[in-house]
Amino acid sequence: MRLALADLKKSIARRDGEQYVTPYLLRPRERLEELAALIALYEDWLGRARASFPVDRAAEIIGDYRLARCLTLCLSEWYIWESPQWPGPASDDEAQALAAQGIASPGELRLALYAWVNATAGGYLSADEREARLDEFAGVCVPGGVRRATLDALLTLDADDRASLRRQTEQAPTVRELAARYNQRAFETMLANAAQVEWRIPPEAADGSGGGLGAVVKRVCFLSRRMGVLYEVAFEHEQPALAEEDDSAPVALARVAERPALYAVPSSREEPTTLDQANQSVMVTLYGPQEVMSAPAHYGERLARLCRALLGYRRAPDAETDAALAGAGLQGAARVYVYGRPMTFRLDDRLLRLLRVSPSDGRNDTFASGEDQVDDERSGGAVTFDSSLERRLYADFTALERAGETAGWRIEREPEPLLIDETILIPDFALTRDSRRVYLEVAGYWRPGYRERKARKLAALRGAAALVVAAPESARSEFVGLDDAFPFLWYRDGKAINAAALVGVITRAYDDFAARLASLDAKQIAQEVALRGRIPPTESMALLRCYTRAEVAEALRRLQVNGADVVWIDGVGLCSQAWRAALLGRLLGALNVAGGHMPLGELRAALASVQPGPADLTDEATETLAWQAGASVMRASLFAAEVYAPGEQEHTEVEGNTNAPEETPAPQRAKAANKAQTKRAPRRLAGKSAYTVSSLFGEEGEDSLP
């Protein structure tokens, strides 16, 4: 339970027209005797009832009722008031009798009493007859009855004053642990009522984080998204309110945080620059409930929990260095609303030192909950999102990706931050194809201030990064003038972003097919196909550097122009003329051995068993090969396909037209006629193209489809 802001001791000061609020925190060696006495009070009361507990004793020991109330709430993480276990003072016979009647808790016993009073006394007992009626109920409620003293005890077994004190941990808290826990919860209470929190992360602050400054920024962004807190990242000189000195001139180079080299943004410099090499302080702004929804409800708890995870002060002592913000020089400020008035809460080294427990005792933080131990690795492949809009887009795009409909683009959540000159942008997604990387920014948040800040950042990124912006139709006015700088994917408010449309936008804006086509070596490809005979479709498309059927057709045209004698067959891939002729010959031979026709599945198995042969053939590819060989495919149903050798189909049709004898009953003659008609009009699958280079483009040739 969070401490109440009204209970928290704090001081308010005014300097240069600005109001500053500072919570009262326990410094080292402060109130040691009082804290020890408070812990001793709880230790002395272990196993004793709450009814006689001196409620005001904590305030008398501490000397301040508000501080005592906060410390008592902190002690509830070690101590708990627990009601006696059922059946309490009841004997074994009484407990078995109650269980036989289905009574296993004080609530069920009271319910049985209420039902009995309703049935026997009209639902009301006067004070004069109450004791006699209770004695009567104790004797008849269960066979054999229960003692009256046992009944009175069981009826109020779960009352608050009957609870006894129990310690939840193996050892009592130390004075230092109690003081640190109070400081931590006071800090979290302030942040839970903050409109925004700004952290200044200097380059030296990354020394204790287990990585460079880029790793720190990426971890902060990851945790913010995971906990659902809005954030922004910028260099310090973009935030003059907290700047203390001028930074050197920024490096005019597009770069990414944490990655040691550029990914998709060209540069004229020989040595790539990373965030750590830029040697600039970074400002991370976390937006709280006053900015988002004006009330510090659950969102305020998330903001406080995020800062707790970033600082890592509730981790085990041996894991303390894994915190994102664990180095020296870390500073910040929070805009806190106290009694409805905005005030500044400074976060400096002195305050941060008071939040930590020294690891000298070697014990783990026993009261740290599992939900606070946030790791930066995805658990079980789980992906977190800022909104349902992004979640739906990710699901739709990955579905298209599995179906092979994304032209080779793969989507990635939580990419690295983009660093362009003085601007830091955290894209929502990154789409990668080979060595090409395009970032996607979803600018769908409704607040005008958010869109204005986003538009300023996009203007700073103009021409420096491969970026696609998805924005609602209602935001056209905020992003006017940026249409020529970035491709925009506009979507209707309240509707999902079309994943297929996104693929089209990326392909049109960042298509490099011309460069890929120009890099093809026709001679090398022809030699590879001639050597292997056949290359499977997936490997063939990689060899041709193609991602769509249209690109394959254009690449094959280029190969034809350069004299490459190769054939493309759908479901088979690239193959040589000799390999294709041999395979079609084996197909016709299998049909002749089977008597001129055989089921499609058996033909596929026969071709796959031939060495060397295509072991990965599908029914669709086998059907295409059958048409290429001059055979025909007839279907009696959707799942029953028969392949006939050339000339065998006409013979089958003549046999199917044979009239049934006159003595055959009319229903049977009609059935035979329908069967013959089914064979005469087979269903043919059009568009199963698998041809030579010339036939693929509609030119006449010996390899064209019949």
Which comes out higher in pLDDT, residue 146 or 397? 397
Helix, coil or strand: residue 236: helix
- CATH numbers and ranges of domains, the chain: 92-158 (no CATH), 193-264+272-357 (no CATH), 388-511 (3.40.1350), 516-696 (no CATH)
Q: Which helix (H) or strand (E) holds 576?
A: strand 573-576
Report the range of poorest mean pLDDT among 447-456, 475-484, 652-661: 652-661
Q: State the pLDDT at residue 62.
A: 92
Q: How far apart are CA 26 and CA 181, in angstroms?
A: 10
Higher confidence at residue 131 or residue 695?
131
Residues 443, 425 contacting (CB under 8 angstroms): no
| Helix or strand run (H / E) with residue 13 | strand 10-15
Tokens of 245: 């000195």
Tokens 């040697």 sit on residue: 279
Distance CA 459, CA 457 (A): 5
Sort strands 194-201 and 282-287 into parallel, antiparallel or unpaired. Answer: antiparallel
Name the helix (H) or strand (E) containing 690: strand 690-692
Q: What is the mean pLDDT of residues 152-172?
A: 89
CA–centroid distance for 340 within its chain: 35
Please tell me the distance from the alpha carbon of residue 285 to that of residue 235, in angstroms, as a whole number.
11
The amino acid that residue 174 corresponds to is: T
Residue 172 has pLDDT above 90, yes or no: yes
Mean pLDDT lowest among 97-101, 326-330, 667-671: 667-671
Report pLDDT for 135: 85
Order of strands, sheet of 194-201, starting from the edge strand that comes earlier in the sequence: 10-15, 18-23, 341-347, 331-338, 194-201, 282-287, 231-235, 423-425, 418-420, 254-256
Tokens 């708990």 locate to 80
> What percent of the chain stands above pLDDT 90?
11
CA distance 649 to 679: 9
Q: Return the HEC string of 582-640.
A: HHHHHHHHHHHHCCCEEEHHHHHHHHHHCCCCCCCCCHHHHHHHHHHCCCEEEECCCCC
Q: What are phi and psi of 620, to 5 degrees?
A: -65, -45
Q: Which residues pair with 177 in a beta bridge?
A: none
Alpha helices in 126-212 (DSSP H): 127-140, 148-155, 175-192
Lowest mean pLDDT among 175-189, 204-218, 317-331: 317-331
Question: For all residues of the chain together, what is the average pLDDT?
Answer: 75
Position 611 scores a pLDDT of 62
> Which helix (DSSP H) or strand (DSSP E) does residue 389 occupy?
helix 388-402
For residue 49, what is the DSSP state? B
pLDDT digits (tens, 9 = 90+) for 502-561: 999 998 888 888 888 888 888 888 888 888 888 888 888 888 888 888 888 888 888 877
pLDDT in tens, 595-618: 888 898 888 888 888 766 677 788
What is the rounded CA–CA span in Å between residue 605 and residue 617?
8
Top pLDDT among 177 and 203 is at 177
pLDDT at residue 80 in the model: 93
pLDDT reading at 416 higher than 50: yes
Token pair of 80 as six digits: 């708990």
Residue 275, pLDDT score? 62
Amino acid residing at 215: A
Show the tokens assigned to 272: 């790539």
What is the rounded distance in angstroms from the CA atom of residue 386 to the CA atom of residue 392? 11
Token output for 311: 């600082």
- Supply the pLDDT for residue 265: 38
Residue holding tokens 């919570």?
23
Lowest mean pLDDT among 9-13, 249-253, 269-273, 427-431: 249-253
- Is 194 in a helix, a strand, or coil? strand
Q: What is the rounded distance in angstroms from the CA atom of residue 539 to the CA atom of residue 547?
A: 11
What does the alpha-carbon distance between residue 564 and residue 566 come to, in Å, rounded to a whole number? Answer: 6
pTM, full prediction: 0.55
Distance CA(413)–CA(394), nearest Å, equals 8
More confident residue, 203 or 628: 628
Per-residue pLDDT averaged across 623-637, rounded? 87
What does the pLDDT read at residue 299? 64
Left (φ > 0), alpha (ψ -120 to 50) or beta: where does 595 sit? left
409: tokens are 């683009």
Residue at token pair 């022809």:
526
Res 384: pLDDT? 63
| Over residues 397-406, mean pLDDT | 88
Q: What is the pLDDT of residue 242?
A: 33
Q: Return the higher-pLDDT residue of 451 and 405.
A: 405
Rounded distance, CA 28 to CA 528, Å?
75
- pLDDT of 248 above 70: no
Beta-bridge partners for 83: none
Better-predicted residue by pLDDT, 156 or 684: 156
| pLDDT tens, position by position, 254-275 | 344 433 333 333 333 333 345 6
Question: Is it the case that residue 243 has pLDDT exceeding 50?
Answer: no
In the block, residue with structure tokens 């020529």: 484
- Cα torsion through 130, 133, 134, 138, rounded to 10: 180
**Model pLDDT, residue 421:** 65
Q: List phi, psi (to 5°) of 90.
A: -65, 145
Average pLDDT for residues 437-444, to the nearest whole number? 84
Residue 342: its pLDDT value, please?
86
- Kindly give the interhelix angle for 65-75 and 175-192, rounded to the nearest 10 degrees: 100
Residue 344 has pLDDT above 80, yes or no: yes
Answer yes or no: is pLDDT of 363 > 60. no
Per-residue model confidence (pLDDT) at position 425: 76
pLDDT digits (tens, 9 = 90+) for 35-93: 999 999 999 999 998 988 998 999 999 999 999 999 999 999 999 999 888 888 888 88
* pLDDT above 60 (res 288): yes
Per-residue tokens: 596: 């001129």
How many residues would you count in the chain? 706
- Residue 516 in contact with residue 545, Cβ under 8 Å? yes
**The tokens of 128 are what?**
């004069």
CA distance linking residue 324 with residue 512, whole number of Å: 39
| Residue 509: strand, helix, or coil | helix
pLDDT at 698 exceeding the cut of 60 = no
User: Quick one: CA torsion of 128, 134, 140, 145, rounded to 10 degrees?
Assistant: -140
Output 68 or 648, whichever has higher pLDDT. 68
H or E element, residue 667: helix 666-680
Instruction: Assign residue 377 a region (left: φ > 0; alpha: ψ between -120 and 50; beta: otherwise).
Output: beta
For position 445, what pLDDT does the model report? Answer: 64
Chain-centre distance of CA 704, in angstroms? 50
pLDDT digits (tens, 9 = 90+) for 367-396: 333 333 333 333 344 566 667 788 888 889
Please spell the DSSP secondary structure of 271-339, one letter per residue: S---HHHHT--EEEEEE-HHHHTSS-SHHHHHHHHHHHHHHTTTS-GGGGGGSSS-STT-EEEEEEEET
Residue 524, burial from CB neighbour count under 10 angstroms (0-12, 13-18, 19+): exposed
Centroid of chain to Cα 175:
40
Please provide residue 202's backbone torsions phi and psi, each rounded to the nearest 5 degrees: -75, 165
251 DSSP assignment: P
